[in-house]
Amino acid sequence: MGKKLTVAVVGATGAVGREMLKTLHARNFPATEVRAFASARSAGERVPYGDAELTVRELKEDVFADIDLAIFSAGGATSQKFAPHAARAGCVVVDNSAAWRMDERCPLVVPEVNPQALEAHNGIIANPNCSTIQMVVALKPLHDAATVKRVVVSTYQAVSGTGQKGMEELERQVRDLFNGREPENTTYPYRIAFNVLPHIDVFLENDYTKEEMKMVHETVKIFNDPAIRVTATCVRVPVFYGHAESVNIETEKKLPAAQARAILAQAPGVRVFDNPRELIYPMPYHCAGEDETYVGRIREDESIPNGLNLWIVADNVRKGAALNAVQIAEEMLGRDLLRVRDKSVFL
């Protein structure tokens, strides 16, 4: 590949796409050229990249021939259609949608947790769900120390997880309520302002939502441990940025809270923020714009012999999406994996 490294961001006009461009620049990713792509209706728009601007190009099937790396954040349908074209052209894809996460041909990667999975990539690498990412970053060092058997997680997810339309709906509804108007619901089935919705994504046959089952299946795949049991309840809350999670784990070996706190304090990507006597615990506003996964309220579950409770908070647009994708790209670059070995895998 030489010194030339051409990088594309697909879905560059969206909230996560813009954050991806911002993150690439802020982390000095060694791209010779960065290109921005979106749908035909967005072609010609300009998006910021550092102090400069990039002109958005129309995404087409034949644009990947001279691109080394494409980071996708344009929705599952777009990824399903265009990512195979990229891989067949020799362009490595890091995809932020759910399209490829459970495909056995595609590694599902959080660099602090399972970077070795990248070694077997076939051209498409999947970025996990935002709520899964922050949870496994915190749980991996505890799993290594004491083997996590079971996870019970309840999430409190920000409206930015729905994209720009979610943030606009919350802002509009708050303004309407403050001005005596009845708010309209267009993005969510019920009002999100001053409310919580125990419903993210569609309901499935088992009465869990798709978001909840993503957390179940993705955790097993990332840990490469079919024995780990996960159950989730995912809730949308009226917060702009930052997903919070109440996580209860049961481990094979006893892991005292003090030891867990010490392990997490040394864990990559984790910031322990935990001193209840001083009212120190993570909240979404601490984490907005931050890269770390914050962990607090670390305490033993007194109802079982080997249990812990954790409160985990992270910026869902950064670590939950853009940052993790860029970290995957950095890891591949460091391992000399930015190439497609077999272009026939996604024929």
Q: Could you list the active site residues?
A: 130, 243
- The edge-to-edge listing of strands for the beta sheet with 148-157 is 229-236, 148-157, 243-251, 307-314, 293-300, 270-272
Q: Closest by alpha carbon to 246, among 281, 213, 279, 276?
A: 281
Task: State the SS3 of 36-92.
Answer: EEECHHHCCCEEEECCEEEEEEECCCCCCCCCCEEEECCCHHHHHHHHHHHHHCCCE
User: How far is 284 from 165, CA to CA, in rounded Å?
Assistant: 19
Measure the CA–CA gap between 241 and 229, rounded to whole angstroms: 28
d(CA 281, CA 297): 6
Cα dihedral across residues 83, 161, 308, 216: positive or negative: negative
* Identity of the amino acid at 119: E
Collapsing DSSP states into helix, strand and coil, what is residue 257? helix
Taking the C-alpha atoms of residue 110 and residue 143, their distance in angstroms, rounded to an integer, is: 15
For 180, the token pair is 């005596």
